[in-house]
Structure 1
Amino acid sequence: MSLTNIYHLRRVADTSSKACLICFKPSTSVLITPDNKDFFYVCPAHLQDRHFCSAIVDTDGEAAREKEKKMAEEIEKVKKEYEEKQKRKKEKKSDKDEKDKEKEKDEKKGDSKDSNSNDEKERDDKIDSIKKGDSESKTDNSPRVFALHKTFYQMRIDRLRGIEMAKRNQERMKNPSLFPSVPKKDL
């Protein structure tokens, strides 16, 4: 049985948490091999322990994340510039509209302008809050690929071998030709 010493970190729901391999506390972090042959639950604190495992740095992945981060910053910058241009256009338009509305206001003396500006402010506040919520989204920059320390890796191999041997023994026990037959002659 060949088992690679590469484990990927996965998260599960809080309701699916199970005991950590080391400290037996409930954990939602799972280390799993790429071929799904072996997995176990482990606390995030143990992932920081250099005597338990070490992170495998993915340089291509890091470069891709950096590129993605720069793109997101550029997009945000372009959005801000666009919003500023739109505000300037609104201000110019509102200045012209204000002059026209002042004339109408003198004639009508209505409060329609105030209600429109309040609606616009509320809409802008909602948009800003949505944007802030998106920017504050949780980003986890912790490593996702690990290699176990040699003793823990050997422990996982021994466990898998034991399971495989137990399965083989169960199959042998089910085979009737394994047992000796009853003697046919009288002694």
Structure 2
Amino acid sequence: MSLTNVYHVRRVADTSAKACLICYKPSTSVMITPDNKDFFYVCPAHLQDKHFCSPIIDTESQAARAKEEAMAKEIEMVKKEYEEKQRRKKEREKESSREDKEDKVKSKDESKDKDKSKNSNTNDEKERDERIASIQEGAGIEKKTNDSPRVFALHKNFYQMRIDRQRNIEIAKRNQERLKNPSLFPSVPSGNP
């Protein structure tokens, strides 16, 4: 049974924390092989230790991450432009309404109707902004908080320790099977002494 020296870091619930392989403190980070044959708990601080493991850098994931960041920046720029246009539009409306007030004297009924239409316009803008925010959340544009590497290779001593452990488990299973088999034990002599 051979193990690959590739371990992915996974997180478990706080209630499922178990002892770290190195320091025996409760940890919620688990290092597991892609084929799920070997796993162990380890503290996140030990993942930063250069003598324990080293990150495997995936150029494809880095390129994808850079592309996502570029998209996020572009979206921010578009949002700023949109907000600037809306601000300018509101300023123009204020200026035009001031000019209208100076030129004409309107009755109270007409001003009430205009206030209602302004309120409906602001409600429409709020709904539009909420839709934009919900679309961005649904698209997964939110920034990830954890940018640490997720794939590691153990250093040779720790990797050999994991191989030895797997080998000892396999040997113990084989010995248990042998002990259950009655043909393993010698038979009683049938002749006279």
Percent identical across equivalent pairs? 66
CA change 1:109–1:69 in 2 (3 A) is closer
Cα distance in 2 for partners of 1:52, 1:167 equals 29
Q: State the partner residue of 1:56.
A: 56
Cα distance in 1 for partners of 2:107, 2:148 equals 60
How much does 1:68 deviate?
1.2
Cα distance in 1 for partners of 2:177, 2:156 equals 32
Q: State the partner residue of 2:185.
A: 179
Q: For residues 109-128 of structure 1, what are the structure 2 equivalents within 5 Å?
A: 113=115, 116=119, 123=126
Query: Secondary structure, in 3 states, of the residue corresponding to 2:37?
Result: coil
Question: In structure 1, what residue type is equivalent to 2:186?
Answer: P
Cα distance in 2 for partners of 1:49, 1:66 equals 26
Cα distance in 1 for partners of 2:91, 2:172 equals 78
Cα distance in 2 for partners of 1:168, 1:69 equals 52
Q: For residues 1-187 of structure 1, what are the structure 2 equivalents within 5 Å?
A: 1-93=1-93, 99=100, 106-107=108-109, 113=115, 116=119, 123=126, 138-187=144-193
Root-mean-square deviation (CA), in Å?
A: 3.4
TM-score (norm 1): 0.78
How much does 1:181 deviate?
1.6
Cα distance in 2 for partners of 1:58, 1:169 equals 41
Tell me whether 175-184 or 44-53 shows the greater mean CA deviation.
175-184
Tell me whether 63-72 or 136-145 shows the greater mean CA deviation.
136-145
Deviation >6 Å, runs of 4+: none
**Unpaired stretches in structure 1, ≥5 consecutive residues:** none
How much does 1:82 deviate?
2.3
TM-score (norm 2): 0.76
